[in-house]
Amino acid sequence: MSDDVRTAARPDRLTTETSEGAQELTRRVATPTDELGREVGAVLRLDGVTLDPRQVDYERRDDETTIINMGPAHPSTHGVLRLMLELDGEFVLRTKVVVGYLHTGMEKTAEALSYVQGATNVTRMDYLSPVINELNYSLAVEKLLGIEIPERATWIRMMMSELNRVSSHLVWMATNGMDLGSTSMMIYGLRDRELILAFFEKTAGLRLNLNYVRPGGVAADLPDGWEDDIEVICNTIEERSYEYDQLLTGQPIFRNRLVGVGAITAEEALALSLTGPLLRSTGVPWDLRRTMPYLAYDQVDFDVIVGTYGDNFDRYAIRLNEIRESIRIIRQCLERMPAGDYRSQDPKVTPPPRARIGESMEALIHHFKLFTEGFHVPAGEVYSAVESPRGEIGCYLVSDGGPKPYRLHVRTPSFVNLQAMPLLMRGASMSDAITMISTVDPVLGEVDR
């Protein structure tokens, strides 16, 4: 064992009040080779390809390059992402991602909340796909509890998560358009998302952070007339997705900014643990909805969209087409929505109906116990994962048999996907950096948690 591992001793003095010390990009002379390799994006160090000395330019002196800071308040970093870039003229040599500006300790908070309350916590992690966060958490809790979910609840969950995927991709289309100077795309994307948020409000009572999917089922049944709403949403967004195709796909400036920029290979993507559109853009047909089906995804018909070159344009095309595939799934949910309960009737996790509370003392006590103490979950560990719009979102849950999670760890796709930044940035120009951030699509709420 080597002794060169740094410990977390508090540094005596940081150079400035806002300095992040060793978390930042340091000057070349002060950076160890391993870290330098990491920052230039050398990933394939095993399997015969070792760190190529030509990639790490040892000879370059510090006074030939500039280290600049981008963020955390830069408008196009999609939140509070901070990138430190070493530039040679206009071209990027090294990149380091500095995160944590939005860290609110949600994993620590989760240990103080009961399983009933937990969904309100996790829904705030990835604020663009709250339903999928809740779903992931609920599936993990249900696996430990070993309870079955009624068929209708499963299909409602599936429909809501697909609606959420559409809305998340629409926001991505909007922000990506904005980053490339297409402000009309931004307005269109946010306009269409509004349709879905209005439906969420009608169903769950809230537009964002729904707390709709809960352990045991969903919070409420679909509202009256939901079929018509879904019909309108599907028709409108599908039709408009072709308009956006016309607006952007062939547009020469748009294509020049994306085609061939930021290309990665499948080996690199696998080595960096990338998932979601980033992995699929390299041609790996990996979508958990298809490869490790959960809910009822094995019963619906949809295509997994894959790219060929792994560049920014592929990632754009994948997201645009995934909107259409999600609409295909929503239409099938609409047709095949089964009747029945929208939540499990297991009294362990589900409170008694409101009408019973007024007439039965036991029901009142039951309701009170469930919302004050919560339900106990058998001791054990579980990892469950679902496909979020950004990749695999996983939940590692440890229970000690009590009413609160002993440890809740969420594997968030944005956090892991950000590791691709040095590789994507290497050799790209400063203006392309904006498109790289955009096509990785990080949501800083889930990066920092």
Partner 1 sequence: MIVEDGLACDAVFFPTPEQYFDLVAALKSDGFEMCVDVCGVDYLEHAGRALPAGVAPTRFEVVVNLMSLSKKQRVRVRVQAGSEAPRVESLFALYPGAEAPEREAFDMFGILFDQHPDLTRILMPEDWEGHPLRKDYGMGHVPVQFKEAPGPR
Tokens at residue 113, please?
A: 């909340």
Query: Which residue do the tokens 């590789």 mark?
Result: 423
CB of 136 to partner 1, least distance (A): 11
Q: Which of residues 432 and 448 has its CB atom nearest to partner 1 in the complex? A: 448
DSSP 222: P
- Which spans of this chain sit near partner 1 (rule: CB under 8 A)? 1-2, 5-8, 10-11, 14, 19-23, 32, 34-35, 37-38, 43, 45-46, 99-100, 103, 105, 107-108, 112, 143-144, 270-274, 284, 286, 291-292, 379-385, 392, 394, 396, 398, 400, 406-407, 409, 411, 415-416, 418-419, 448-449
Backbone angles phi, psi at 156, to 5 degrees: -65, -45
CB of 425 to partner 1, least distance (A): 16
CB of 20 to partner 1, least distance (A): 5
Q: Which of residues 142 and 179 has its CB atom nearest to partner 1 in the complex? A: 142
List of E strands, 51-90: 66-70, 82-88
CB of 100 to partner 1, least distance (A): 4
H or E segment to which residue 394 belongs:
strand 391-399
DSSP 24: S
Give the integer Cα–Cα distance in Å for 132 and 410: 12
Closest CA to 279 of 419, 167, 401, 154: 419
Are 262 and 423 contacting, i.e. CB atoms less than 8 angstroms apart? no
Residue 237, CB-side half-sphere exposure with 13 Å CA sphere = 36
Tokens at residue 195, please?
A: 């349709």
DSSP string covering 184-202, please?
A: HHHHHHHHHHHHHHHHHHH
Q: Which of residues 234 and 423 has its CB atom nearest to partner 1 in the complex? A: 423
Q: Which of residues 171 and 416 has its CB atom nearest to partner 1 in the complex? A: 416
Q: Which of residues 373 and 381 has its CB atom nearest to partner 1 in the complex? A: 381
Q: Which of residues 270 and 364 has its CB atom nearest to partner 1 in the complex? A: 270
DSSP 63: G
First to last CA, the chain: 32
Give the integer Cα–Cα distance in Å for 174 and 168: 10
Q: Which of residues 16 and 246 has its CB atom nearest to partner 1 in the complex? A: 16
CB of 310 to partner 1, least distance (A): 16
CB of 233 to partner 1, least distance (A): 32
CB of 54 to partner 1, least distance (A): 19
